[in-house]
Structure 1
């Protein structure tokens, strides 16, 4: 999820999505004001050099970077035989025209169709009732597909391609759309708890290339909610900083929330990032360890503390409850009886997600972004090496890989010139190493629980909301989606200004990192600006060296790869930035079409494009359509996706007159 620069979005909606950090007219207590370098300053130097040496030379140099050994990654379009350029792509399409923000439909290219797989409220557990929007209960929602689907993967589980597992995050709730007026407040709160978390759902189809359908009540189906027990592992497990009146051990947390993006590991588990957790708590606001995370006395507009005191962090009993959120969690979708884990070794901040690659020495490396204006890019390197295969012994070992390792944060510089090519340089600054703190004045537990404050001390580079960060399994390069930052240039100054698009960065950009010597564990890297987004006619845009026509693109959020290594970018914020609906875009990262942006689909009114999954050799693309019609209300919905019950009409069984967040599959029709 994005949600920091929402233009004409209502203040109420912004607060529901992100808390007070979204508000443009008031100071943001979460915002990083430490004295570190700014990415804009560094990028300006590198861009000016690129204009001298020529974009063609820079692009050519990048294609010469040695590729890393490919690693198997379930559920993704990793390298396969026959990939590469010079032949017809398995998902040929003609780019669509940008869709108007009033279009309440999924717009796809000619020759394709879209179909819903799962909608909010669809029953997935055995015994769960059919969805009834007017009479929701916490018990019903706990057995139904949750709200605001975000990270998504479709993991095939049979050799003939007829069975799969759908794994999905449920980020947050919008109670004004979900519940009719007059619903009992306690029922609203407890139902919202059950609508958060994650879902695991079995899918079936008759043969490859067909559309998937979900299987209600299937053995592996699972709902993970704010009542699901989570184990805490890593160096901070059992720390006094994690103990509460309800958990004197500091090793068991009840639930997960605000789960945004994620990643699927090479050993078949799913990682999920806990992002804007601060908005659910009331806190004192007097402790910088709280305010640096956006905790304050006025954040909890949902008033969850009226039902459960754990949401009131002003009390001695639950002062540490916010410290138990903001982690990367790991779920085994193949074992519905397993206990999900929160990994403290990977640090605590507003995690967008985490994506893993196996380094050539067998250690695994996870890249992570902290989705806040002026916050940082992180890397985790496991202590142990991955064991190949899927034997019980190897699986048990690999499930511990994210429990111990080294955490570091990125610093970018702009003085890297090699062979006349304008690549920036950078380094990973250690926060922990060998189980020890590398930050003066911080214990290892403090580094991991208060990672933002520890990172401030070592002076990394402030980024423009780094969201999804994903390594290419084909080339080994890493792509960082920086969604936007309208405050760029305003830090230290009072009041808003009218900055230009680059200084204010309303459109965002994508950074390309190249690990030093092809080694993801080394502390050195080079980098380039791959995309500087916006309408191509706008000043300052850049598209990887491509100078031909492109689809306008703004506010990159999530990224994915197809079987040939092309980057696919989903967006969140285009309605405010360039006045068109959000969408999904294909962008080659190498070869003669490097940087050519082509729009594949657009989502309905008010929606964000989340969790893209590209199964191009199967003829399918999947997206999670999140928060359609988000600025509407129960009485006046601004979207009727996907059931399209007309105003005044009577919904059929399992239908709803208003919008429902939905997982969509797009397939070829010819």
Structure 2
């Protein structure tokens, strides 16, 4: 089976930089080989009426700093930055260069690491250790992980595969915590041998059990010690592709949600493709179902199916062969895909609770959702649709947050107003030529509007009911004229300033034949390196329907690309960065960016980067860590006051096979697995901690 899949990889020879065609196969169903889902005529709206405020009255220009470090190109061996590959308990690294930003998390930025290096690289004075790995037993009755004796029953009791969004909720004394982590997708090539191994039905069961999420108790002796997980913790639980969920919101119970298994249209089995997420002010976890289309075989003929990328091809997972609900060609399961693509809310403190899918936040390829509380107490959720030329969204709850009333607050996302973004630049359109060159005012910036899709319980999308807007949210965005973006991934409001940051990973179709050209919010044709948008809501009010914006970063390697921009900071004094994905903040107000697929001229392992946002260091990018070869950096979490940084390392050694792994992360000692450990890469949650 492995070789058959590999010979037919549709993206083989078409990927750029380090992106593996295997990742394209299993993670996003080879989306780049298919026509762009958004064929609406929406372009950049230059004729929008001014929002009545100056862009510069909202956002400071940011001065240029004078002192920084100059970083070299990728290190081919990693020796200058990593030392040895490390052990299962971690491997301390060292890095050249002057010390970076001061404060509780001071470090000297590492040099980029060549994409061939299988090492987890950290700065000098830091070490790393895996907290949880794929297959680690979570319950007292969980079997130990055995690569050669896997079963669906065992996997449902073990840590899942390809971890993504990460949260660690600590107790007041700092010695206990609750970890939540998404499990986005699986790679059968690395999980199962080419011949032998589990039968197809069992293999599919293992894969479904490896999806979803994990809630796991952690403990440590003191705040200066690394975390360890608690096997058999009282609050440990697994969510899988078979777990029962409840649908909430206006679309729940509609005809578009009914199937043979659920005539009520209110109960759904499983979540899939869960990527990023957020933690609510009331302590629940939000998780975004992203590339759900790749799990279903459908007719692919209706407008709605086409707009979401559903098609009649056999899926990469093949679950439709053994589980009828994934075959949407069947009339009795035609609506099953309509029940996926939502923001999921999970209460990590209650393993007996039923997680929910909130239709009020719309259906799309959700990267995730993050919630801020507005001045009036309403919950505001920001969301990106991770598809080329798709949109940026915002949800404003109808009800208001009540401090201490968790039961009430858990209903805030069931009803409210849904918006989509339209961006307007303030430069002469002739100056936005697709090259990425700055316009004459020295900034990519402008104003914008949040266009209502649902307002006061009524549809604002012409010809669509409320239920239709929530199930076919992309079509509603098309109708109102939203701005086509370059793959909005994580969207994070800064908890200190309220400014909102949007990671646009890339869009190599921008400006190509028949596709939308450059605009000031997406200023490069064939945008391979991505950019980061900074938004400030009008009057600092998260519920406002107008905003100002600018581009904080136009990513790439400034040594090889003149069309880069780092918030005004000297481009020759920053770490090269490409394909921004997940975002986080530290207590000092810095933005942290994890990358996914640093392609093109960079050609280096993905990493985690810190970016200053204000003052004369605004736009100063420093690389903190690099993940092993063919891996993606996910779920960054920064506990600055403790000197700890956490990441989820996804798909290490993705382009290898069961017989010939390309990575042995995280169980290697000088490149070989420890005795008793599996000779295969294992996606893991990693803690980086200060040692000096």
| TM superposition score normalised by structure 2 | 0.86
2:101–2:107 CA contact under 8 A, matched in 1: no
Deviation at 1:31, TM superposition (A): 2.5
Please list, as runs of the form range in 1=range in 2, the aligned pairs for 1:40-51 lying within 5 A after superposition.
none
- 1:170 aligned residue: 183
Unaligned runs of 5+ in 2: 1-10, 48-53, 65-99, 429-440, 517-521
- 1:112 aligned residue: 126
**Equivalent position to 1:253, from 255, 268, 271:** 268
- 1:487 aligned residue: 509
- 2:492 aligned residue: 470
Cα deviation digits, residues 410-447 of structure 1 (max 9, x gap): 00001389xx9964000000000111111111000000
Deviation at 1:636, TM superposition (A): 0.7
Separation in 1, partners of 2:332, 2:247: 19
Deviation at 1:501, TM superposition (A): 10
**Equivalent position to 2:30, from 20, 28, 52:** 20
Deviation at 1:453, TM superposition (A): 0.7
- Whether 1:385 aligns to 2:400 is yes
Separation in 2, partners of 1:503, 1:657: 42
Separation in 2, partners of 1:554, 1:301: 28
Q: Does the residue aligned with 2:204 lie in a helix, a strand or coil?
A: helix
**Equivalent position to 1:503, from 515, 525, 536:** 525
Cα distance 1:210–1:493, how it changes in 2: closer, same or farther (>3 A)? closer
1:226–1:254 CA contact under 8 A, matched in 2: yes
Separation in 1, partners of 2:60, 2:249: 45
Please list, as runs of the form range in 1=range in 2, the aligned pairs for 1:180-195 lying within 5 A after superposition.
180-181=193-194, 182-183=196-197, 184-195=199-210
Unaligned runs of 5+ in 1: 43-48, 62-85, 495-499
Which shifted more, 658-667 or 302-311?
Answer: 302-311
Separation in 2, partners of 1:507, 1:299: 31
Deviation at 1:658, TM superposition (A): 0.9
**Equivalent position to 1:220, from 235, 251, 256:** 235
Separation in 2, partners of 1:17, 1:324: 19
Separation in 1, partners of 2:235, 2:523: 47
**Equivalent position to 2:446, from 424, 428, 432:** 424
Please list, as runs of the form range in 1=range in 2, the aligned pairs for 1:133-144 lying within 5 A after superposition.
133-144=147-158
- 1:83 aligned residue: none
Deviation at 1:160, TM superposition (A): 1.1
Task: Provide the aligned length of Structure 1 versus Structure 2.
Answer: 615
Cα deviation digits, residues 3-60 of structure 1 (max 9, x gap): 999426454441111113133xxxx245211111249x99xxxxxx99xx9xx97226
- 1:35 aligned residue: 41
Which shifted more, 125-134 or 261-270?
Answer: 125-134
- 1:398 aligned residue: 409
Deviation at 1:621, TM superposition (A): 0.1
Q: Does the residue aligned with 1:59 lie in a helix, a strand or coil?
A: coil
- 1:555 aligned residue: 579
Cα deviation digits, residues 369-403 of structure 1 (max 9, x gap): 000000000000000110013xxxx1110000000
Separation in 1, partners of 2:340, 2:513: 28
1:561–1:568 CA contact under 8 A, matched in 2: yes
Separation in 1, partners of 2:691, 2:21: 42
- 1:286 aligned residue: 301
Separation in 2, partners of 1:148, 1:474: 31
Please list, as runs of the form range in 1=range in 2, the aligned pairs for 1:598-617 lying within 5 A after superposition.
598-617=622-641
**Equivalent position to 1:637, from 651, 658, 661:** 661
- 1:69 aligned residue: none
- 1:67 aligned residue: none
Q: Does the residue aligned with 1:279 lie in a helix, a strand or coil?
A: helix
Please list, as runs of the form range in 1=range in 2, the aligned pairs for 1:32-111 lying within 5 A after superposition.
32-38=38-44, 58-59=61-62, 88-111=102-125
- 2:212 aligned residue: 197
Q: Does the residue aligned with 1:58 lie in a helix, a strand or coil?
A: coil
- 1:359 aligned residue: 374
Separation in 2, partners of 1:572, 1:19: 16
1:20–1:299 CA contact under 8 A, matched in 2: no
1:6–1:573 CA contact under 8 A, matched in 2: no
Q: Does the residue aligned with 1:502 lie in a helix, a strand or coil?
A: coil
Separation in 2, partners of 1:450, 1:586: 37
Q: Does the residue aligned with 2:498 lie in a helix, a strand or coil?
A: coil
Cα distance 1:364–1:144, how it changes in 2: closer, same or farther (>3 A)? same
Separation in 2, partners of 1:57, 1:132: 55
Cα distance 1:10–1:205, how it changes in 2: closer, same or farther (>3 A)? closer
Separation in 2, partners of 1:303, 1:359: 44
1:7–1:577 CA contact under 8 A, matched in 2: no
| TM superposition score normalised by structure 1 | 0.88
Q: Does the residue aligned with 2:654 lie in a helix, a strand or coil?
A: coil
1:501–1:507 CA contact under 8 A, matched in 2: no
- 2:685 aligned residue: 663
- Whether 1:7 aligns to 2:55 is no
